[in-house]
Amino acid sequence: MTTKVYFHDSCFDGLASAAVFSDFYRKKIRGDAEFAYEGLAHRAGQLFLDVQFDGDVNAIVDFKYSSDPRLTWWFDHHQSAFLNAQDERHFRADRSGRKFHDPTYSSCTKFITEMVREHFGFDSSSLSELIHWADVIDSAQFADARAAVELREPAMKLMMVIEGLRDPACSRRLIEDFQSKKLAGIMGLDWVQAAFRPLYERHIKSIEIIRQSATCTHGTVSFDISDHSDMEGYNKFIPYYLFPEATYCVGVSRSNFRSKVSVGSNPWSLRPRTHNLAALCERHGGGGHPVVGAISFAPEDLPMARRIAEEIARELRAES
């Protein structure tokens, strides 16, 4: 009996959500379950076009809803959780008791923890360290930008590994290790250290690349690093590390499968955020949370991504 868990790829909260769900499912629902994992990424077009839902049981965590009848479990905390109104109606009509959505939660990991306790009486406290750090990272509850960028904690180093690696086998290993090891122990594994070192070197270089590309005007940082195809997984707090006076940030990046506009807000800004960034991104086919959002385009639609990024930056600057 295979349980297939689909998770938000290249995301600490996504992998942590997969681990917490798997721990619950194995210990509470089916002790002999065998797990398979597949990462999902936001992109232009239909997100589930090539998703097979080929497990005996299929779960999605920390990613948009699918109305596919083969989907058994679903947990998400994004404001933009539904691809369309039909999917939302499908979710609202579901009576399985296995599909959950609440955009007020700061992380999907914490959301899963509380839902399985409330509805199934399951205690996830054995993974309390992982749950804590997933919540800190996904809601940017760091003391300051230095803590977010200088990566002193094992969890922060693992965040960079997760965001920088594109090897599904490595993601699966981390999800499995999250269920049985402390974060410092995982960070000390030889293969994780081997992955970390070049990513950390790239991280240091990325600070300078963004420094050279970025400008800050009327409280909004703008930059375009689409010429650096290996930079999509950059640390999202670098702009606020470089420009602590900024309230918002709009960045353009490109990978082999998408051009992307990232829109964020500075968690440490002295000026309050007044825009809902998820709603702003939804206008252009994207989404996210009120404090951070993104829009994905086909790789060849980079000119459109640049135009929309400039339009969003103008709107954010206009409030100053």
Q: What is the pLDDT of residues 146-160, one digit of tens each?
A: 999 999 999 999 999
- Return the SS3 of 57: strand
Task: Give pLDDT, residue 145.
Answer: 95
Residue 319's CB is within 10 A of a number of other CB atoms, namely 14
CB neighbours of residue 46 within 10 Å: 9
Percent of the chain with pLDDT over 70: 98
Does residue 60 carry a pLDDT above 90? Answer: yes
pLDDT value of residue 8: 96
What's this model's pTM, rounded to 2 decimal places? Answer: 0.85
Chain-centroid distance, C-alpha 277: 15
Q: How confident is the model at residue 41 (pLDDT cuts 50, 70, 90)?
A: confident
Q: Are 148 and 241 in contact (CB under 8 A)?
A: yes
Q: Is residue 212 very low, low, confident or very high in pLDDT (cuts 50, 70, 90)? A: very high
Is the pLDDT at 4 greater than 70? The verdict is: yes
Question: Coil, helix or strand for 88?
Answer: helix
pLDDT surpasses 90 at 102? yes
Per-residue pLDDT, averaged over 15-44, amounts to: 95
pLDDT for position 45: 64
What confidence score (pLDDT) does residue 165 get?
85
What are the chain's domains? Answer: 2-187 (3.90.1640), 212-318 (3.10.310.30)
Q: What is the DSSP letter of 273?
A: P
pLDDT at 43: 74
Kindly write down the DSSP assignment for every residue of 150-173, as one continuous string: H--SHHHHHHHHHHH---HHHHHH
Burial 195-234 (b: 16+ CB within 10 A, else e): bbeebeebbeebeebbeebbebeebbbbbbbbebeebbbb
Q: Give the model's pLDDT for residue 46.
A: 65
Q: Residue 126 pLDDT > 70, yes or no? A: yes
Residues 98-132: b if buried by 16+ CB within 10 A, e if exposed: bbbbeeebbbbbbbbbebbeeeeebebeebeebbb
Q: Is the model's pLDDT at 210 over the cut of 70?
A: yes
Cα gap 202→225, rounded to integer Å = 14
- pLDDT over threshold 70, residue 217: yes
Instruction: Say how many C-beta atoms besides its own lie within 10 A of residue 80's C-beta.
Output: 20
